[in-house]
Amino acid sequence: MERHGRSSERALLLIIEDDTAVREGLMDLLAPRFDVLAAPDADAGVELAREHRPDLVLLDRFLPSGDGLAVLETLQNDVRTETVPVIFLTGDADEATLERCLEMGAVDFIHKPASSRELLARIDRAVRQSEQQRKLQVLAQTDALTGLANFRALSVRLEDEFKRALRYGYALSVVVIDLDHLKAINDGMGHDVGNRAILALATLMQGNLRESDFAARFGGDEFVVLLPHQTSMEAAVFAERLRSELRGVNVQRGDGRPAPFGLSISVGVADHTADSPRESTEALLKAADAALYEAKREGRDRVVVYGQSVHAPAAQRH
């Protein structure tokens, strides 16, 4: 398999084409304008797509190692590649075949041989449309204040992570975080200060996440973090670190002076493991919510793992 060096500012294209001359010709044509990956068969192409998540796939309709439609279906059924647009390269002029390609979700098809101008124009259009759709999707799944995922995106990600945890037998923890006394902050200092408190927590949270973790704003003062491959006790270490570090975060008032209060959080943690499985995402969230309720009932500013208390400070700051 071949690769041209990736640039962060250019779209990445993946060519899956068994004809060496066609593949190399496409690479030479596209490399000045795009980053290009290429594979000579279906299996190598799918692996590259999963690893690099290209912005567009140019896929030969007929491959010795697998039908192009089967490759398209494989990409669409994988969460890592399901949104990657595909343009078919085909020498088949049969209208029924081309209609089938579009019905299955290909964004376009190009007859071989195609002129350089036509090829580039169709690729440019597909890349622009894909980028626009991606931006709209991000906006629809992003909390406007914090830039974190919103409830809609959390629901999708939690289902995906839970399915993977079931399939591969690894732990998955859910951490539900509530910013203590936000209503009192809003009532006493104004919503601008309350928003700064929310942003301070969100920023601290983002700085403590691993690449595989996922954080979302669940509601006004509530956040949810998904921690794959973490038991509840391991997740509690993450939660306690947040709680401790938040003590040192200062929020400013509108005039630039520090607000006369500290920040604290109440946290509930629950997990799904092979030894102690949850029957559904709803059950997992319900357990974490129950732990959060216990943290609030005990006086807030603490972390509670479902079934046991992890931290109980001697005094409150609000």
10-residue stretch averages of pLDDT, the chain, 318 residues long? 52 90 90 92 90 90 80 86 87 68 78 81 86 70 89 89 92 97 91 93 95 91 96 96 93 82 94 94 96 95 83 41
Q: How many CB atoms lie within 10 A of CB 57?
A: 27
Query: What pLDDT shows up at residue 14?
Result: 93
Beta strands in 81-135 (DSSP E): 86-90, 108-111
Return the structure tokens found at 143: 């909390």
Element (H, E) at 267: strand 265-272
pTM: 0.62
Query: What pLDDT shows up at residue 289?
Result: 96
Pairing of strands 172-179, 222-228: antiparallel
With CA atoms as reference, report the closest residue to 183 among 198, 169, 168: 198
CB-CB contact of 209 with 227 (8 Å): no
Which positions ≥6 away from 134 have C-beta within 8 Å? 83
The span from the CA of 35 to the CA of 8, in Å, is: 9
Query: What pLDDT shows up at residue 138?
Result: 65
Query: What pLDDT shows up at residue 88?
Result: 87
Using DSSP, state whether 93 is helix, strand or coil: coil
Output Rg (C-alpha) for the chain, integer angstroms.
25
The span from the CA of 44 to the CA of 30, in Å, is: 20
Pairing of strands 172-179, 214-217: unpaired
